[in-house]
Amino acid sequence: MNIQTYKKKLSIIIVTYNSEDIIFECLHSIIQNNDIGNELEIIIVDNGSANADKLFEEIKTTFTFDIILVKNSGNNGFGDGNNLGVHHCNSKYFIVMNPDVRILNPVFSYLLSKFEKNEKIGLLGVTFSDKSCPFYFKPEYFNLFHLIFFKVYVSFLQFDMQQMFPSGSFLMFDKETFIKAGCFDNKFFLFYEEPDISNRILTVGKMVLLASEVEVLHLTQGRGQEFNEKLANIEIDSLLHYLSKYGFDKRRVLSKYILVYQLKMIVASVLNNKTKKILFRSWVDLITARKNNL
């Protein structure tokens, strides 16, 4: 497919699942900061929300901007929903964006220029105004040293595309590269899609970069304070799939994660933070149990 066949310059794909409380502010922020006019398209893929019909009707009546509304067959995960959105997008470049992200400034034209000036870019991440982490170490590279000095890496935005991956709450792709790399792996229901697609984009000869000068807002306040066993098991399932896919020693990597959470638990104890201590203790117990069952 050559560039002349594309109808738009940029698509934004948002996967929703019972997201009616946050999606409208998200859409308002996109439209208010749209600096490319009709060259932008918005695609919402609903992953089987109970009130999807009502949500779609409210979106149609609230916004004059033409928004493509797509129903998935069910809640088949983050990657599956976004792959479906890519199938519907009519542009050379697209952004995968969570409904809890807010656009603060007109950035779309600038982000497009980054890709247009450097055809080697396949994936571009951004930073967050709330200071949440814009990138993380891939599981095979994560260790206690990186844990201790991670804030230094983040403070100085020292992103290494071989060892790190950008946060999946806002990712911009070259569509042809994304398809060539094989799209998101649907076996990841949630978590670890980002290091996987980053690896495969590098494999096809393109770059994974961080636009450190671009900030969006990610509503992360209050998250991760309590242990959610269901989500935690989903995360470990995804981690194990990632490790199997790339041939890494699962028991060895899980042992590193146990050490990390044990250290966090010690720090929480020293600081007398009982909530965090319970949280980290729960992670240690769960990862240990999953490791012992391998």
**What range defines the domain where residue 116 resides?**
3-218
| Within-domain flag for 78 | yes
**Same domain, residue pair 264 and 136:** no
Amino acid 150: pLDDT: 83
**Same domain, residue pair 61 and 202:** yes
Amino acid 224: pLDDT: 62
> Mind listing the pLDDT tens digit for each residue in 2-25?
445 899 999 999 999 999 999 999
| Within-domain flag for 223 | no
Amino acid 152: pLDDT: 85
| Within-domain flag for 224 | no
Is pLDDT at 1 greater than 60 in this prediction?
no
Amino acid 3: pLDDT: 45
**Same domain, residue pair 255 and 124:** no
**Same domain, residue pair 151 and 10:** yes
**Same domain, residue pair 59 and 24:** yes
Rounded to an integer, the average pLDDT of 162-177 is 97
**Same domain, residue pair 52 and 191:** yes
CATH number of the domain residue 43 falls in:
3.90.550.10
| Within-domain flag for 172 | yes
End residue of a domain, out of 166, 196, 218: 218
Query: pTM here?
Result: 0.94
Q: How far apart are CA 60 and CA 58, in angstroms?
A: 5
Supply 271's token pair. 């600081």
Supply 51's token pair. 């009130």
End residue of a domain, out of 165, 197, 218: 218
> Mind listing the pLDDT tens digit for each residue in 43-85?
999 999 999 999 999 999 999 999 999 999 999 999 999 999 9
Q: Which residues contact 209 (CB under 8 A, 6 or more apart)?
A: 114, 121, 123, 124, 125, 159, 161
End residue of a domain, out of 179, 196, 218: 218
Counted domains in the chain: 2
**Same domain, residue pair 212 and 252:** no
**Same domain, residue pair 72 and 184:** yes
**Same domain, residue pair 184 and 240:** no
| Within-domain flag for 36 | yes
Amino acid 141: pLDDT: 92
**Same domain, residue pair 257 and 199:** no
> Mind listing the pLDDT tens digit for each residue in 209-262?
999 999 999 998 656 678 999 999 999 999 999 999 999 999 999 999 999 999
| Cα dist from 173 to 69, 136, 201, 215, whole Å | 21, 18, 10, 17
**Same domain, residue pair 260 and 146:** no
Using the Cα atoms of residue 183, residue 202, residue 11 and residue 213 in order, give the sign of their dihedral.
positive
**Same domain, residue pair 249 and 208:** no
